[in-house]
């Protein structure tokens, strides 16, 4: 997918809604604002889901089942014909005249107030919709041509950080390990797209790992905490539950090197795995351990992440 050639399509409708939780309605001209979204649209803002896109062909197929959905009913800003939107990887570039969009997420959870789901019992936006941010602004109208270009293979790696802490999630303790991981990753040239703090709840962690790997397609996800012997420490089990493949060498190397610092490193249960194109690595919960662990592995991760991104050969060293 990431090597796919440029695709071409056409804009069938531009839609906005002034309030969240309401269906969007077509407008003659959409004013796209850089790093914000569409003028007069309630979902615009400084975040990664500034513009939503949906395939016209998908809506047409849905309506053949008697849904009767109008333009904007699924919450889409742009209804697009001719592009296989759901096959575009995160990082793809969409161009409509002067407007340039970057795909940031594939699919999403359907919100509780979804009008279409309430009416028909189903909604295609979570499965087939994509989201983008505005890199360059301008105007878009129905009938405008749109092109999709593959992501730049040399763009910075995208990373996410998840800290697991019951006390931190309750506000009883300030998290320092997550910010430490973010700082180190950014200093190494990574773009940190999310940093979240959640309690030691395996189901919550599995949900976040799946979202970051499947929808946001992060290159790397670092978790901090929940790797010890406490009954609440379930991070490795939750991580293994969502894995497609094991990548044990990274976790083993961290433990081996950490044994040079403290014998207690043998008690760490962190794992390292792959889900789709995302590498997930468990780290201990202390800021000191996070700094030490990332310092041990970051220089070597580059090649592995490029292989996952299909921008390096596994035989490159030969």
Measured distance CA(272)–CA(262) in Å, rounded:
21
**pLDDT mean across residues, the chain:** 91
What is the C-alpha to C-alpha distance for residues 131 and 238, in angstroms, rounded to an integer?
27
CA torsion sign for 87, 89, 90, 94 is negative
Whether 3 shows a pLDDT value over 70: the answer reads no
Residue 255 CA: distances (Å) to CA of 258, 271, 283, 289: 5, 10, 10, 11
CATH number of 7-149: 2.40.33.20
Residue 208 has what pLDDT?
A: 98
DSSP state letters, 118-179: HHHS--SHHHH-EEEEEEE-EEEETT-EEEEEPPPTTSPPEEEEEEE-HHHHTTSS---HHH
**CATH 2.40.33.20 boundaries in the chain:** 7-149
% of the chain exceeding 70 in pLDDT: 90
Average pLDDT over residues 203-218: 97
8 Å CB contact between 205 and 235: yes
Q: 286 pLDDT exceeds 50?
A: yes
E strand map for the chain: 7-16, 25-26, 29-33, 37-38, 51-55, 78-81, 93-96, 99-106, 130-136, 138-141, 145-149, 158-164, 191-198, 220-224, 245-246, 272-275, 278-283
- 235: buried, middle or exposed (CB in 10 Å: 19+, 13-18, 0-12)? buried
List the single range of 106-110, 147-151, 258-262 with lowest mean pLDDT.
106-110
Question: Please, which pLDDT band fits residue 5 given cuts at 50, 70 and 90?
Answer: low
Q: What is the mean pLDDT of residues 286-294?
A: 97
Q: Where in the chain is the domain with CATH 3.40.980.10?
A: 158-308
> Which class does domain 158-308 fall in?
alpha beta
Sign of CA dihedral 234, 238, 241, 245: negative
Q: Which residues contact 175 (CB under 8 A, 6 or more apart)?
A: 163, 165, 168, 197
Count CB-CB contacts under 10 A for residue 261. 11
Phi, psi of 83 (to 5 degrees): -110, 140
CA–centroid distance for 257 within its chain: 31
């Amino acid at each position: 997918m990431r090597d796919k050639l440029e695709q071409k399509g056409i804009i069938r409708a531009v839609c906005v809604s002034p309030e969240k939780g309401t269906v969007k309605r077509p407008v003659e001209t959409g004013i796209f604002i850089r790093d914000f979204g569409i003028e007069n649209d309630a979902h615009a803002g400084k975040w990664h889901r500034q513009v939503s896109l949906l395939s016209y062909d998908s809506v047409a197929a849905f309506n053949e089942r008697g849904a009767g959905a109008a333009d904007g009913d699924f919450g889409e800003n742009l209804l697009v014909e001719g592009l296989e939107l759901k096959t575009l990887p995160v990082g793809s570039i969409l161009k409509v005249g002067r407007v340039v969009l970057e795909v940031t997420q594939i699919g999403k959870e359907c919100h509780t107030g979804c009008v279409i789901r309430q009416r028909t019992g189903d909604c295609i936006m979570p499965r087939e919709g994509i989201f983008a941010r505005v890199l360059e602004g301008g105007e878009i109208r129905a009938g405008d041509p749109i092109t999709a270009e593959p992501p730049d293979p040399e763009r910075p790696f995208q990373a996410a950080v998840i800290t697991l802490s019951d006390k931190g999630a309750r506000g009883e303790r300030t998290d320092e390990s997550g910010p430490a991981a973010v700082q180190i990753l950014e200093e190494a040239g990574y773009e940190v797209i999310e940093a979240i703090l959640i309690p030691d709840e395996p189901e919550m962690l599995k949900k976040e790992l799946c979202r970051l790997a499947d929808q946001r397609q992060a290159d790397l996800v670092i978790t901090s905490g929940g790797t010890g012997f406490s009954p609440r420490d379930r991070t490795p089990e939750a991580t293994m539950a969502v894995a497609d493949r094991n990548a044990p060498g990274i976790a083993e190397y961290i433990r081996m090197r950490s044994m040079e610092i403290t014998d207690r490193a043998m008690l760490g249960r962190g794992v390292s795995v792959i889900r789709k194109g995302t590498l997930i690595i468990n780290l201990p919960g202390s800021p000191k351990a996070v700094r030490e662990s990332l310092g041990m592995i970051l220089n070597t991760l580059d090649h592995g992440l490029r292989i996952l991104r299909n921008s390096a050969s596994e035989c490159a060293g030969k």
